[in-house]
Amino acid sequence: MLLQNRVNKKELKKRIQEESIKRITVSFYRYVIIDNPQEVRDSLFLLWNALKILGRIYIAHEGINAQMCVPEENWEIFKYNLNQDPLFAGIPFKIAIEDDGKSFYKLTIKVRAKIVADGLDDDAFDVTNVGSHLTAKEFNQAMEDPETIIVDMRNHYESEVGKFTGAICPDADTFREELPMVIEELKDKKDKKIIMYCTGGVRCEKASAYLKHHGFKNVSQLHGGVIDYVRQIKAEGIESRFIGKNFVFDERVGERITDDVIAHCHQCGTSCDTHVNCANDDCHLLFIQCEACAEKMNGCCTPECMHIASLSVEEQKALRKGRKKENSLSVYKSRLRPNLKDVLEGLNLKKE
């Protein structure tokens, strides 16, 4: 039996948009020793595919990291089956707050070396010696102390659209790149109270242990990340200290937490926090683009991409042949971010 999807992306997206069933978008993770990740992967694919579950799941010897959308009618079956497995029994869920059930369009389960790429040698430190876990209320209380240092353990494009007020937001493209940056920036603050946060909590599990290994005395982390923070503040009527959008890694791209728009269109500079991917499939750069620029640029990031996107599929393939694709984040830094003024003037995209 084929244990992977073979239907093309366009057809899958069409199906998910047309389906009428209600879905619950959920994320969860657990660091747990999995002796045979491939075997676990295959059994989960069979089970979850039968339940019409869609999502992106990574499994490794060190555990599982999952984001998925589950049909509401199969939610209880899904939870029951997961709890029957000793590896995953009692695993805490983070439920999406803004959810139209269209967050994923296929089921992808991959075996990876790690559930989050961090570049660390886990044998070099105690990965189980993590920081203390804080509830939303406790996190807010910790922020009241002016001596507390708040660290955003997400990538730059995530913190650009939403963050906790007063947080240190390293200019990092990846979690792997961010860890040494945080150690360097805080090297003379090892006796300070450090509180960390990320999207769902999984990155902070490893990051807090890494900081403690490097001599930081007082390290805490937001339990369940921003996703569960929002659930808690809504349930308990707590003021949100997180402003803007919470970036999520699915078709929704972001969840609106507060009405604050803290980012700007990368092409004209107007207030905007809408992430899009460049319409040129060979580029696919993730950037922020307002509606006016999207119309003028046909959803592309540069005039070059506009030209390529206007070509036939055959002509685009011919251009790509034998050419190494550039890293999209490198393109972002070199082409868009530092040259916003030039892009603005050169493309005549000022607000009229």
Residue-by-residue DSSP string for 261-281: ---B-TTT--B---EEE-SST
Closest CA to 153 of 96, 212, 53, 226: 226
Q: Could you tell me how many residues make up the chain? A: 352
pLDDT at res. 344: 43
Whether pLDDT at 321 is above 80: no
Give the integer Cα–Cα distance in Å for 28 and 115.
11
Active site residues: 198
Q: Kindly state the tokens that stand for 297.
A: 């640029």
Alpha-carbon dihedral angle through residues 42, 46, 47, 49, given to the nearest 10 degrees: 120
Band the pLDDT of 283: cuts 50, 70, 90: confident
CA atoms within 13 Å, Cβ hemisphere of 307: 4
Q: Averaged over 266-285, what is the pLDDT?
A: 92
Band the pLDDT of 339: cuts 50, 70, 90: very low
Whether pLDDT at 320 is above 80: no
- Under CATH, which architecture does the 122-236 domain have? 3-Layer(aba) Sandwich (3.40)
Q: Which residues pair with 245 in a beta bridge?
A: 256
Q: Which of 37-46, 50-59, 131-140, 334-343 has the lowest mean pLDDT?
A: 334-343
Q: Kindly state the tokens that stand for 223.
A: 């339990």
Residue 96 burial class via C-beta count within 10 angstroms: exposed 0-12, middle 13-18, buried 19 and up: buried
Mean pLDDT of the chain: 88
Q: Kindly state the tokens that stand for 174.
A: 């990846």
Whether 23-111 shares its CATH topology with 122-236 is answered: no
Band the pLDDT of 99: cuts 50, 70, 90: low
pLDDT at res. 346: 47
pLDDT at res. 282: 83
Q: Output the CATH code of domain 23-111.
A: 3.30.70.100
Band the pLDDT of 8: cuts 50, 70, 90: low
Share of the chain above pLDDT 90, in %: 71
Strands 54-60 and 63-71: antiparallel
Q: Tokens 């997961």 label which residue? A: 82
Give the integer Cα–Cα distance in Å for 195 and 217.
12
Q: Answer yes or no: are the C-beta atoms of 222 and 139 closer than 8 Å.
A: yes
Give the integer Cα–Cα distance in Å for 190 and 228.
28
Q: Which of 69-83, 220-234, 277-291 has the lowest mean pLDDT?
A: 277-291
- What does the radius of gyration of the chain's CA atoms come to, in whole angstroms? 21
**Domain residue ranges in the chain:** 23-111, 122-236, 275-346
Q: Which residues pair with 288 in a beta bridge?
A: 275
Q: Answer yes or no: are the C-beta atoms of 182 and 211 closer than 8 Å.
A: yes
CA atoms within 13 Å, Cβ hemisphere of 50: 10
pLDDT at res. 252: 82
Q: Which of 40-54, 55-69, 332-346 has the lowest mean pLDDT?
A: 332-346
